[in-house]
A and B are shown apart, each in its own frame.
Chain A
Amino acid sequence: MSQKILMKGNEAVAEAAIRAGCRLYFAYPITPQSELIEYMAKMMPKVNGTFLQAESEVSAINMVYGAAGCGKRVMTSSSSPGISLKMEGISYLAGAELPSVIINVQRGGPGLGDIQPAQGDYFQATKGGGHGDYRLIVLAPNSVQEFADMASEAFDLADKYRNPVMILSDGLLGQMMEPVSFKESKTDEEIEELGKQHYEWCMHPNTGYTERHHNEINSLEIDPNVLEQHVLELEKKYKLIEQNEIKYEEYKVSDDNEILCVAFGISSRVVKSAINELEKEGHSIGLVRPITVWPYPYEAIAKAIGPKVKKVIVFELNLGQMVEDVRLAVNGKVPVDFMGKVGGIVFTPAEVKEKIEESL
């Protein structure tokens, strides 16, 4: 780990991605992720990597498809409206099982919305968004450090499962500065080795690795029986991911909890502040923070409901999206309440505290 430096989330995740071996990056400018594309424009040439400003998000994600098909670590990033445009390509990446990393620095929607932080793309990220039965692995950071750490984690998961991985961040995490330290950069040799794990299936002509002449990158199976098999195989993979990769943080979860809160990403930071304030006043409030929002920590949330918990309250920067998953997890054990904020406005610790106090 290097020394801590002060950096914006957008720049930190870009730096971390390069260190993790990303040598191809394709994107289209959009606020509030522009520092990311600009950092890549500046730094990629210095590591002999490819930076390309595509003509659209549609093109960018299809460039990712081509490069990922060659077994390379490749990334794209955008913000909400641009992520919508990438959805066709993301479905193809999932169908063709191409490891790749997509960053969404969410902003207010729907439509052009605004350029302030929001969490309105939760459904899109975790429940589909593109067409067909597929899953993205979705990581939700709540600090600049975690945003950066997730870059290498995302590439590792993408490689491990041959699946696209999304980092679901927001305009606040992208724009704010926090101290961050970085892992060692992967060497060119290490990056080369990482690519080799994909030689079995990827396009890698002329490597002398095998005798074969023909690998196909494809999501088309015209025979319904073959497509059924393919989709069922994908499902098996998704089940395995659900078994192995669920991550969450518990904050002050205990048997004394009067209320259990659930929040992901930047919202969880505000909720923590409110919990700390309430603790000073003698209240015990717990928080479960899903770190993977797909696969989702249903069991962890159910288990965290202590004997004295009167209510579970979900805090999101949308009108109630993750709350549906929390309801599934809680399964009627206690009431589930919700507080949302939209328009690109972030609730304050005082507002969150007030909401919790209503139920104390």
Chain B
Amino acid sequence: MEIVAQRPKSLRDVQFTYCPGCLHGVAHRLIAETMDEYGIRDNTMGIAPVGCSVFAYKFFDCDMAQAAHGRAPAVATGMKRARPDMVVFAYQGDGDLAAIGTAEIVHAANRGENITVFFVNNAIYGMTGGQMAPTTLPNMKTTTSPYGRDVNDIGYPIRVSELLNTLEAPYYIERVSLLSVPDTIKAKQAVKKALKYNIEGKGFTFVEFISTCPTNWGIDPNKSKDWAKENMLPYFKLGCFRDKEKDNGGK
């Protein structure tokens, strides 16, 4: 019998802590499959954030660090500077990366740290029970924006990929979605590109995943994807913002 699908070797045989329908598991799988395909498990170090994916340090089968809330890019910097011969990636949610960790991500990107940051944007704080995130959409209700996000009071959602794209140093920035099978296949291509450039020592690479949070949105998993397509994708436009390989004509 031929095995046609199995757990990637770069994911450990432990139970995920994610809610049913959560897409963190899909993002993990795309990263782990890519680690397998490139054969980099033995020279990769990852960083788990504070958020629902805090236990990612248990899930990836490579050396892993758990970072303080928002500090993953700084921890990644320390790791990469200590072991420049290793592939280093950080995995972060939108509260972690775009609120408390804004300085860390901007400056790691601006230094062109040779790391990859995977950014899961689900427009909400999942772990703490559905509070407003910097990416929460206008008028979207959360437990701390019970009357809907008032942009006149708290501002507009931050588009992180576009923000990082104002910097000179980043090598690769792409926003993808996990909301459909074709989109997920495209997302895998983005993960592969990011880690390829990372392995080649090209510089800072960044993949933003548009994701969902059925539990805290209070919408069932499939409808969550539809909701995200209708509401998130018009605001957070998918696409590659930066690919210096292409921009340089492959040089």
Contact = CB atoms under 8 A, between A and B. Distances in A.
Contacts of A217: 57, 63-66
A63 B64 contact: no
Contact of B104 (A55, A88, A216): A55
A52 to B, nearest CB: 7
A67 B63 contact: no
Interface string B15-58: 00000000000000000000000000111110100000010011
Contacts of B63: 203-205, 213-217
Interface string A73-92: 01000000000000011001
Nearest to B12: A214
Contact of B68 (A50, A88, A204): A88
Nearest to A50: B81
Contact of A69 (B12, B43, B62, B78): B78
Nearest to A219: B66
B83 interface: yes
A178 B228 CA distance: 65
Contacts of A74: 78, 82
A266 to B, nearest CB: 32
Given A213-B41, A219-B66, A24 B81 contact: yes
B66 A66 contact: no
Nearest to B66: A218
Contacts of A214: 12, 61-64
Contact of A59 (B41, B57, B65, B71): B71
Interface in A25-60: 26, 50, 52, 54-56, 58-60
Interface string B72-93: 0011111111110110000000
A219 B106 CA distance: 25
A80 B107 CA distance: 24
Contact of A206 (B77, B78, B80, B85): B85
A150 to B, nearest CB: 23
Nearest to B71: A62
B66 A220 contact: yes
Interface of A is mostly: mixed
B149 to A, nearest CB: 27
Most chain A CB neighbours (cut-off 10 Å) among B42, B43, B45, B82:
B82
Interface residues of B, number: 35
Contacts of A218: 57, 64-66
Most chain B CB neighbours (cut-off 10 Å) among A54, A66, A68:
A66
B43 A24 contact: no
Nearest to B111: A52
A65 interface: yes
B79 A69 contact: yes
B57 A216 contact: yes
B103 A205 contact: no
Most chain B CB neighbours (cut-off 10 Å) among A24, A218, A219:
A218
Most chain B CB neighbours (cut-off 10 Å) among A26, A54, A203:
A203
A26 B66 CA distance: 19
Contacts of A89: 68, 71
Contact of A52 (B44, B61, B81, B106): B81
A66 B41 CA distance: 19
B72 to A, nearest CB: 8
11 contacts: A58-B74, A62-B104, A63-B81, A66-B80, A74-B82, A89-B68, A96-B66, A205-B62, A206-B43, A217-B65, A218-B66
Q: Top 7 closest A-B pairs, CB basis?
A: A66-B78, A62-B74, A203-B63, A63-B78, A70-B82, A217-B65, A67-B78
Given A24-B81, A50-B82, A218-B57, 10 more contacts: A55-B107, A63-B75, A66-B65, A70-B83, A88-B68, A203-B45, A205-B62, A213-B42, A216-B58, A217-B63
Interface of A: 24, 26, 50, 52, 54-56, 58-60, 62-70, 72, 74, 88-89, 92, 96, 203-206, 213-220
